[in-house]
């Protein structure tokens, strides 16, 4: 069903991103895999048929433009599946949050996906098909202490998804927001999640493969069906 599709996946070398990249690759999708560090990215792409690594700092608007310009040549045609997954995360009270943290999270978690959607959407609309998947979070609908900036970016990404959905009905372009509960990825490495109220230990978190399964399910529905949103929680 997905053979011949051409994807762009951001944050591809991380836990969720690598799981999504492998799942889509196994389904026959050719993909540009995007991450900041070339070493892990190259190693991941080498094990996925049809995958092309592209190292880029998506907080740089010029790097986003270069990626968008290069993707059709790398894939042999225009991108028709975008998975906006890249993100960074820190826990800190609002009054202790530094400008550099605020700016970095806004740039990667919100501005970069917005720029990618803005750049890729016209070709999808012209073709009458395409799918934009946004990886959200439980923090895009629920407030947690010390989560002010991350929640702001995720609430913003949810709003962008909802506006995109409203603007795309009838165009053939589908959009899906997948919002998992806490997922066991390297984002938690600097944190002790089990010691903080409301955050489970990593052993109890979702596996990234569960998020990849949700992505795969959403993008393999019939072309006239849009999965607006999926919320993943602990059983």
Question: What residues are annotated to the active site?
Answer: 150
Q: Is the CB of residue 106 less than 8 Å from the CB of residue 30? A: no
**What is the C-alpha separation between 74 and 20, in angstroms, rounded?**
19
Beta strands in the chain (DSSP E): 6-10, 30-35, 51-55, 81-84, 130-135, 173-180, 229-232
Burial of 149 (0-12, 13-18, 19+ CB in 10 A): buried
Smallest CA-to-CA distance from 9 within 111, 91, 88, 112 is with: 112
Name the helix (H) or strand (E) containing 100. Answer: helix 99-106
Triad 99, 160, 191: Cα angle to 5°:
45
Question: Tokens 């270069």, residue?
Answer: 66
CA–CA gap between residue 235 and residue 225 (Å, rounded): 26
Give the pairing type, strands 51-55 and 173-180: unpaired
């Amino acid at each position: 069903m997905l053979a011949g599709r051409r994807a762009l996946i951001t944050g591809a070398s991380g836990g969720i991103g690598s799981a999504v990249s492998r799942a889509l690759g196994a389904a026959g999708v050719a993909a540009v895999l995007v991450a900041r560090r070339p070493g892990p990215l190259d190693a991941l792409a080498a094990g996925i048929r049809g995958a092309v690594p592209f190292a880029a700092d998506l907080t740089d608007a010029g790097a986003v433009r270069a990626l968008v310009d290069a993707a059709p040549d790398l894939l042999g045609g225009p991108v028709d599946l975008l998975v906006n997954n890249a993100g960074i995360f820190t826990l800190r009270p609002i009054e202790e949050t530094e400008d550099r943290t605020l700016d970095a999270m806004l740039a990667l978690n919100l501005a970069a996906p917005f720029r990618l959607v803005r750049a890729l959407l016209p070709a999808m609309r012209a073709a009458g098909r395409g799918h934009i998947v946004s990886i959200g979070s439980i923090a895009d609908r629920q407030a947690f202490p010390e989560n002010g900036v991350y929640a702001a970016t995720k609430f913003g990404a949810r709003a962008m998804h909802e506006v995109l959905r409203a603007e795309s009905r009838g165009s053939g372009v589908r959009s899906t927001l997948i919002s998992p509960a806490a997922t066991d990825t390297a984002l938690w490495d600097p944190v002790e999640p089990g010691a903080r109220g409301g955050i489970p230990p990593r052993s109890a978190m979702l596996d990234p493969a569960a998020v990849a399964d949700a992505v795969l399910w959403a993008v393999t529905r019939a072309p006239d069906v849009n999965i607006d949103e999926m919320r993943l929680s602990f059983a």
